[in-house]
Structure 1
Amino acid sequence: MRRPRSRQSSQCSFLAGVINRELGDRAGEARSLSELGIVHGRRGQFEDAHDHHRQALQLHRETGSRIGEIVVLNNIGLLYQQQGRYDEARHRHHDALELSRSYDFPGDEAESLNALAEAARSQGRVSQRPGGSRPFHGRPRPRPRPTGPTPPVANVT
Structure 2
Amino acid sequence: LDNIPPQLPPSPDGAYSNRVDLPFDLTARSDSHETPLDLPPLGIVDVGPSKSLPDFLSDGPIRSERRHDSQPVSAANSPDREIGHALSLENSRLRRELEILKTQLSIQMTRSESLEREVNRLRNRDRNSASFDSIIEQLEENLSRMTRRAVTAENK
TM-score by length of 2: 0.15
User: Per chain length, whose mean CA-contact separation is higher, i.e. which structure has more relative contact order (CA < 8 Å, sep 6+)?
Assistant: 1
TM-score by length of 1: 0.15
| Structure of greater Rg | 2
More helix by share: 1
